[in-house]
Structure 1
Amino acid sequence: MKHVTFAEKSLLIGNEAADLLMQYARLISEQGGSDVVTVRAIGVDGNVVDASFLLNSATVLMVESASTDATEPDNREAVEYLRNRTEELSQPFGLPSDL
């Protein structure tokens, strides 16, 4: 699990989702785009929450390691979305991703 800090709020998010969120935020920023991504997280009160992140060139996001035994929230859909979008944005302009 990792702490993801956004707008002065820290949430616990699974490693893969947190890392992909950071990679996608970087790509969005580089390309001048924006997107809203929702992930499941553990809030400061220990409850599972849905957190929506507005990602754009002004996004300030920090991801840091966390030492916890908590079970990661299920982020299969968010991870799939982030992975697909990251791959799409990483491709040279105009080339299909299966080349």
Structure 2
Amino acid sequence: MKHVSLGDKSLLMGDDLADTLLEYARLVGDSDGADTVTLRAIGPDGSTAEVGILLNSSTSLVVESTHSDVVPPDNSEVVEDLRERMRAITRPASAQPEERWVESEYDNTDMI
């Protein structure tokens, strides 16, 4: 479990999610991009909440370890989605050449 601070908000979430979110925030900031992430976390009152986070080059995110025994909400799908987004930034798909245009295949003069 890790304690994550975003502005004036404090959240508890699983280690894997917190670490992945921090790395994704760095990549988004480095690319001067922006993105949103929706996840489940434990708020200051101890309840589980769905949280939307805007990430951009101005995002200030602090991740700290805790000694909490609380079981974090399951965010395995969010972690995998963030990893896919990270791969898209670090290893973008290469451009594929288009099929060569062959005029005879598109010659429709008989339709005029």
Return the TM-score normalized by structure 1: 0.90
Aligned pairs for 1:28-67 (under 5 A) are 28-67=28-67
Cα root mean square deviation, aligned: 1.3
Return the TM-score normalized by structure 2: 0.80
Instruction: After TM superposition, give the deviation of residue 95 of structure 1 in Å.
Output: 3.5
Output the CA distance in 2 between the equivalents of 1:11 and 1:17: 12
Alignment match, 1:9? 9
Output the CA distance in 2 between the equivalents of 1:94 and 1:71: 37
Which structure 1 residue ranges, 5 or more long, are not aligned? none
Instruction: After TM superposition, give the deviation of residue 94 of structure 1 in Å.
Output: 4.5
Q: Percent identity?
A: 47
Highest Rg: 1 or 2? 2
Output the CA distance in 2 between the equivalents of 1:95 and 1:71: 41
Output the CA distance in 2 between the equivalents of 1:30 and 1:36: 15
Consecutive aligned runs of 4 or more in structure 1 exceeding 3 Å deviation: 93-96
Which structure 2 residue ranges, 5 or more long, are not aligned? 96-112
Deviation per residue, 1:5-60 (Å, 9 max, x gap): 00111100100100010000000000011000011101111111111110000100
Structure number with the bigger relative contact order (C-alpha 8 A, sep ≥ 6) is 1
Deviation per residue, 1:43-92 (Å, 9 max, x gap): 1111111111100001000001011000010102211111111122112x
Output the CA distance in 2 between the equivalents of 1:27 and 1:95: 19
Aligned pairs for 1:85-96 (under 5 A) are 85-91=85-91, 93-95=92-94
Equivalent pairs counted in the alignment come to 95
